[in-house]
Structure 1
Amino acid sequence: MSDDPIRLVTIGRIIRRRWRLLAIVAVVGALVGYGTSVLFPPRYTTSASVLLSGQWEERELLTQAEIAASSAVVDRAAAALGWTGVSGSELRDRVSATAADGNIIKVSGTAETPERAQRLSDQVAGEFVTFAARIAGDDTDPDAATGPEALRKKVEETDRRITDLANAADPGQTVEGVQARTELEKLRTALQEAMKKLDEANPATSKAGMVVMGPAARPTGEAPPTRMQLVVAGALLFFLFAVIGHLAAARVNRRLRTEPEIAAALGSALLGTVDVPGGGSAHRPKGRGARAWIRRLLGVDTRWDLPTPQTSGDEAGRRIRYRRVCARLRNQLPGARRLLVVVPDGDEIARRAAGQLVAEAGSDPSASSSNRGYPMLRVVEVSVSQPMVPDRDTESGALVVLSAGNWTAGDLAGIAEACADGRHEVVGVVVAVPVRDRPTRSAGHPPDDATGALAARAHATGGSV
């Protein structure tokens, strides 16, 4: 594909012409995904919610979520569960905690079975509440824990003592009695305000209140990735890799596709382009055996990157193209009576075009006129890997017939060098283009003698046709 941009039509052509191969690759990817799901058993995940009372800032909630999934909490949960072969470090990879709206910490646990996932989430949530209460001071020194309560009792006793003193201080309406009772009431109010501020400043009473909001729900489905997800992901991944592989192979493909590039590689002029009907099957190799059968089964025996053949015109229009090529040969080499037609081995389209050229040159009505007939053509097939052209005999040059998109510049340069070694000058190039034949043909359809004309030819040392 050289440097052409990748378009959707290109991907559509890959899918249309390689759908068998892509389907098999997708099935292989699905099997790989299924095998992965067997190696990694299914997991189940559930969550337990912990409600935090009081006013909490967002950063404080995030801190509590980190504490819930910390090793201090998970290790205690692992010790309480006592699962064989499961350590606290392994459980830390299965436990997570997030801060939700409404001062709620969601503790999630993942295990091999729904029952274990439920137990893990409940146990970690309970250990988190216990650990948070211990940090807040609920389970610290008993003297420190009972200090605020003892102080509250002292204040209550002092309040009662103040009441007694107020009642005993000069029950009359003297000035001294009124002042004493006023001072005692001020003292009572100051003590109550001090206790209120103490309660508000105590974190154990404002934020230590945590409660687990019921047991975790038992999960009913597997946690992602599920077996079905792995199977689908494997099929899609292999399918995409196959498509990308086709695009990459087409990107690095250096086969020549245009007539000027082909003519430049052979060092000669382009004499014309001819149509070959039935081009779809012409690209299909004729090999036999198990390998060829597998290639046909997978649909890789034909090229996908070649453009879709256009619908051909009628037989008369196609023959005009061949006659024009023969006329250009006659005009370019007026004294030439014989020419060698070189066809790359394996190029079925070019072979058919060469046969039609031989038939048109042999049916020239002006062949009896002096220096007016078409040259006689002799076809030889040349191996591209080891090109060998017969030595020059009575031929006046070589005409190269080939199809576009099948050969690189190096392949064509080798053919040109083989012609030069055989003392044949490349007098022209003819490019054969596959086309789709029309369903109905004209009444004046000539006999199909193109293939028959090639039946009598030789390959490397063939005789005249």
Structure 2
Amino acid sequence: MSEDTIRLVTIGRILRRRWRLLAVLAVAGALVGYGASVLLFPPRYTTSASVLLPGQWEERELLTQVDIATSSAVVDRAAAALGWSGVSGAELRDQVSAQAADGNIIKISGTADTPDHAQQLSEQVAQQLVTFATRIAGGSTDPEAATGTEALRKKVADTNRRITDLANAADPGKTVESVQARTALEKLRTSLQEAMKKLDEADPAANKAGMVVMGSAARPTGAAPPTRMQLIVAGALLFFLLALIGHLVAARMNRRLCTEPEIAAALGSTLLGTVDVPGEGRAHRPEGSGPRAWIRRLLGVDTRWDIPAPQRSGDEAGRRIRYRRVCARLRDQLPAPRRLLVVVPDGDEIARRAAGQLVAEAESDPSPSSSSRGYPKLRVVEVSVDRPMLPDGDTESGVLVVLSTGSWTAEELTGIADACADGRHEVVGIVVAGTVRARPTRNADRPPDEATLALAVRGPVTGGSA
């Protein structure tokens, strides 16, 4: 498991090397969001109508009116008044909501599939709330009983006018009878006024009835959330984040060995050095053709993203010196000239190219002299990491393992080491190959002597990795 996979540089590498895949997944997520907006969350429009409750109201009484506004008694009457085909009161109850606001105001919200329907629904529920509240304030739900108090007030008003007419018709003189008649009429008028005042104080409908709808509901100009655009953006963002998190989880669970000490420990041998292989545009692309391979190349998933970008290397002369140093360390490590197998994991194109260059350098060694025993004879063998198998050690007396970093797990390398032991081969060393960005050279066929001498004197021939 890698412990260095959640840095910002890792996320930037994913964005650079997997941008095609991430873009395709984001588009797919946008399409899923669009489909959800059409099938699961069609556009809905919401608007509100306000109802004013005059007088003094306690909080619990306001909450009671809120419950009444969304009750079946009000919503069913609103559904009957609207007369929408195929829409019942039970369905409208899910589309109506109410809440108490400051100033004894109840806001009734209606949600529908069109702006006009939302406006009509909220206004109709508000009207039905006012009508229903007026009826129950009079102590009965009967419309005739609800108007009894108002009729009584009209009769009292008519009686007052009749008293005035009688007072005016009486003898305008100053006789005792006329004065007594006017006094009696005024007492009757005063008694009626006091009785109506007491009736108004005792009647709850006089104090808390008279609800008023405060104008028409505003026509909604936009859909209620989640809108279609919000669902599209949310789908694209969700798929993008899931793809990014998937890459990070895969990198976190990656068990491929990326450091030279880990590779050496898995194979149970020593590291002879590192060599450079010029990167090629198709060096890391798996072979294959057909629609699936074409799609993988189109999305950019045919190459690994978690490999660091290759560094810029020197010229061809510097790279060849690294190979010569590895061959020199092999020569100094072996007691006598020997023939070695160069084992390359099957599918490791970088290691295969490095092994070929090692063989070429070993064959280009001049004839052994008294001061040099000559480089070992090398033969490249590719083995499968699933079931590694090597030939018996009859002609070759050792193995040189060449592989690239970040490609193989410890279990796979241990299997190669066990296969070497089964074939009676000793792993004499390990060479790690890495890709570099090659620079154009003026003379790549033969390195100049000055460059060879300059690089050769930097350190001893034997020792650590080059």
Question: TM-score, normalization: structure 2?
Answer: 0.80
Q: In 1, Cα distance between the equivalents of 2:390 and 2:99? A: 79
1:443 is matched with 443
Q: What does 1:217-366 align with in structure 2 at a 5 Å threshold? A: 217-278=218-279, 281-365=282-366
1:419 is matched with 420
Change (3 A) 1:66 1:312: farther
Q: What does 1:32-43 align with in structure 2 at a 5 Å threshold? A: 32-40=32-40, 41-43=42-44
Unaligned runs of 5+ in 2: 168-186, 448-466
Percent of pairs with identical residues: 76
Q: In 2, Cα distance between the equivalents of 1:197 and 1:269? A: 110
2:111 is matched with 110
Change (3 A) 1:319 1:61: farther
SS at match of 2:219: coil
Q: In 1, Cα distance between the equivalents of 2:216 and 2:415? A: 80
Change (3 A) 1:253 1:71: farther
8 Å Cα contact 1:314-1:442 kept in structure 2: no
Q: In 2, Cα distance between the equivalents of 1:148 and 1:134? A: 12
1:272 alignment partner AA: G
1:129 alignment partner AA: V
1:18 is matched with 18
1:212 is matched with 213
2:133 is matched with 132
8 Å Cα contact 1:336-1:396 kept in structure 2: no
Pairing 1:46–2:58 present: no
- State the Cα distance separating 1:336 from its structure 2 match: 3.9
1:433 is matched with 434
- State the Cα distance separating 1:279 from its structure 2 match: 5.7
List per-residue Cα deviations over 1:352-387 (Å, max 9, x = no partner).
111121122222346344763221111111122222
SS at match of 1:282: coil
8 Å Cα contact 1:48-1:121 kept in structure 2: yes
- State the Cα distance separating 1:347 from its structure 2 match: 0.7
Unaligned runs of 5+ in 1: 165-184, 448-465
8 Å Cα contact 1:339-1:395 kept in structure 2: yes
8 Å Cα contact 1:18-1:300 kept in structure 2: yes
1:134 alignment partner AA: R
Q: More displaced, 428-437 or 201-210?
A: 201-210
Q: More displaced, 335-344 or 1-10?
A: 1-10
- State the Cα distance separating 1:398 from its structure 2 match: 0.5
List per-residue Cα deviations over 1:59-112 (Å, max 9, x = no partner).
544443333223332222223323332222221221112333333222111222
Q: In 1, Cα distance between the equivalents of 2:227 and 2:104? A: 32
Q: In 2, Cα distance between the equivalents of 1:86 and 1:292? A: 54
Q: In 2, Cα distance between the equivalents of 1:433 and 1:369? A: 35
- State the Cα distance separating 1:410 from its structure 2 match: 1.7
Q: In 1, Cα distance between the equivalents of 2:367 and 2:196? A: 128
List per-residue Cα deviations over 1:240-281 (Å, max 9, x = no partner).
221122122222221111111111111212222222121664
List per-residue Cα deviations over 1:185-234 (Å, max 9, x = no partner).
9xx99x97x98787567542333231112222333333322333222222
- State the Cα distance separating 1:235 from its structure 2 match: 1.8
- State the Cα distance separating 1:56 from its structure 2 match: 3.9
8 Å Cα contact 2:139-2:146 kept in structure 1: no
List per-residue Cα deviations over 1:3-51 (Å, max 9, x = no partner).
3351222222112111111111122222222222332432222222222
Aligned length, in residue pairs: 419
8 Å Cα contact 2:138-2:145 kept in structure 1: no
1:362 alignment partner AA: E
Q: In 2, Cα distance between the equivalents of 1:200 and 1:309? A: 93
Q: In 2, Cα distance between the equivalents of 1:260 and 1:120? A: 75
Change (3 A) 1:79 1:369: farther
8 Å Cα contact 2:140-2:146 kept in structure 1: no
Change (3 A) 1:2 1:64: farther
8 Å Cα contact 2:5-2:248 kept in structure 1: no
Change (3 A) 1:354 1:59: farther
Q: In 2, Cα distance between the equivalents of 1:129 and 1:144? A: 13
Question: TM-score, normalization: structure 1?
Answer: 0.80
Q: In 2, Cα distance between the equivalents of 1:4 and 1:97? A: 54
1:205 alignment partner AA: A
Q: In 2, Cα distance between the equivalents of 1:434 and 1:30? A: 38
Pairing 1:4–2:17 present: no
Change (3 A) 1:145 1:428: same
Change (3 A) 1:201 1:293: same
Q: More displaced, 388-397 or 55-64?
A: 55-64
2:178 is matched with none
Q: CA RMSD in A?
A: 3.3
1:331 alignment partner AA: D
Q: In 1, Cα distance between the equivalents of 2:256 and 2:120? A: 65
Change (3 A) 1:396 1:79: same
- State the Cα distance separating 1:145 from its structure 2 match: 7.4
Change (3 A) 1:59 1:18: farther
Change (3 A) 1:417 1:54: same
Q: In 1, Cα distance between the equivalents of 2:238 and 2:146? A: 63
Change (3 A) 1:209 1:369: farther
